[in-house]
Amino acid sequence: MNSTTIPLAARPGRAAAAVCVAAVAALAVAMGIGRFAFTPLFPLMVRDGLIDSHAGAMLAAANYLGYLAGALASSRMRVKPTLLLALGLLGTVLITAAVGWTASLFWWAALRFLAGVMSAWVLVATSAWGLGWLAALGRPDLAGIQFSGVGIGIAAAGLFCLLLGSTLPSPQMWIGLAALGALAIVPPLVLSRSLPMPVPAPAPASASASPAPAAGLPSAAPQATFGLVVCYTLFGFGYILPATYLPALARQLVDDPGVFGLAWPVFGAAAALSTIIVSWRLAAANRLAVWATAHVLMAIGVLLPAVWTSLASVTLAALLVGGTFMVITMTGMQEARARAEGQATRVLGRMTAGFALGQLAGPLASAGIARFTANEAQALHLALALSALGLLASAIHLYRYRKGKP
């Protein structure tokens, strides 16, 4: 531990606040800008005649593949989380700026692939570093603030596009977001150097039961995380279809560009608030129970558009999916890190890879079902039902796992 670490780490309150600030900024840049900014920028790029819907789908797929590749790489790389964090943040800013400097579809696909790699690295590294410090400082209840960074980044990118999209061409929007990201990564880069990874404390021998989120779990063999990885994979499979198709369903029901412009900032705000509220109000709840309940709520949101097509159902589905996806991310990462037995980066990398694999499988499953159905709408409804079934099955497993019956 270097000389700048000792004074800060000696003050648990200041250290916990510093970790939260760094984690929020890191996730806002890597996820809100590097990974999700393409959603509000896509219609602007179409407006400018740069891409069409088919090219947009290809760029989205490239990002999904990059996310999977980055997650798999992070689970095998023997580097410190703080170094992985720095590489991911710097890479995110440079890649985001580069998108605005080219008009080549090939290079856009390559850059979106690399953006997926960087965002996976930052999520894994921030989870390992941030959750590690919050646990060491006795403040795991602040994990909700840490993971609110994703929603804050989504909301910020959405507002940026809403306010400036009518006056700036999309290439300049990409460069502007990169400039904002460059400012935002200063706190995590500085603070992660001042607070390197803490030495994990040994688990008490008496702590054998599944504890509350605020208490944390004793370390178990990494093999004990296999079921968690499967559930997290089903989360990715269940999340991606409504996240992809709900905006399209909304466009069919309401032809108002202002509604779509506000949708992404509202989605981000809901995601940010959900993690904070869960950490605040459910601090004494069992983490696996919270995770399982979030899967059930998301399953309802996924299934709603398949059984009831209206603006009300689409709005409710968006709230249910948007309000649970970061809660699942937070609780899943907390649970996996607690069971990682000193291998947090590797285990969290596997979790992230599982999610990436699930989100890749979602559109493929929908396309496969479409080959055996009368129309695309019927195929989407069946795929949504399959997604909901996977979420419900994983919820049952998590409930049983909580009771010691994996």
- Kindly report, residue by residue over 100-119, the tens digit of the pLDDT: 999 899 999 999 999 999 99
pLDDT at 21 over 90: yes
* Per-residue CA distances from 392 to 296, 298, 378, 405 (Å): 6, 9, 21, 17
Kindly give, in sequence order, each residue whose CB lies less than 8 Å from that of residue 23, ignoring residues fewer than 6 positions away. 126, 129, 130, 145, 146, 147, 149, 188
pLDDT at 366 over 50: yes
| Arithmetic mean of pLDDT, 148-175 | 91
Predicted model pTM:
0.82
Count of C-beta atoms within a 10 Å radius of residue 3: 7
Mean pLDDT of the chain: 84
pLDDT at position 402 is 72
Looking at the fold, whether 66 and 177 belong to one and the same domain comes out as yes
Q: Can you give the CATH number for the domain in which 403 is found?
A: 1.20.1250.20
Looking at the fold, whether 135 and 258 belong to one and the same domain comes out as no
Nearest to 194 by CA among 129, 122, 120, 123: 129
Q: How confident is the model at residue 83 (pLDDT cuts 50, 70, 90)?
A: very high
Task: Point out the domain boundary residue: 198, 227, 251.
Answer: 198
The tokens for 169 are: 């061409």
Residue 129 lies in a domain: yes
Looking at the fold, whether 144 and 251 belong to one and the same domain comes out as no
Split into its structural domains, the chain has a count of 2
Looking at the fold, whether 180 and 266 belong to one and the same domain comes out as no
Looking at the fold, whether 261 and 135 belong to one and the same domain comes out as no
pLDDT at position 198 is 67
Task: Point out the domain boundary residue: 148, 163, 198.
Answer: 198
The tokens for 235 are: 């989360």
3-state percent helix, strand, coil for the chain, nearest multiple of 5: 80, 0, 20
Looking at the fold, whether 388 and 272 belong to one and the same domain comes out as yes
- Kindly report, residue by residue over 259-315, the tens digit of the pLDDT: 666 777 888 888 899 999 988 877 778 889 999 999 999 999 988 888 887 777 777
Nearest to 381 by CA among 294, 304, 328: 304
Q: Find the domain containing 116 and state its range.
A: 1-198
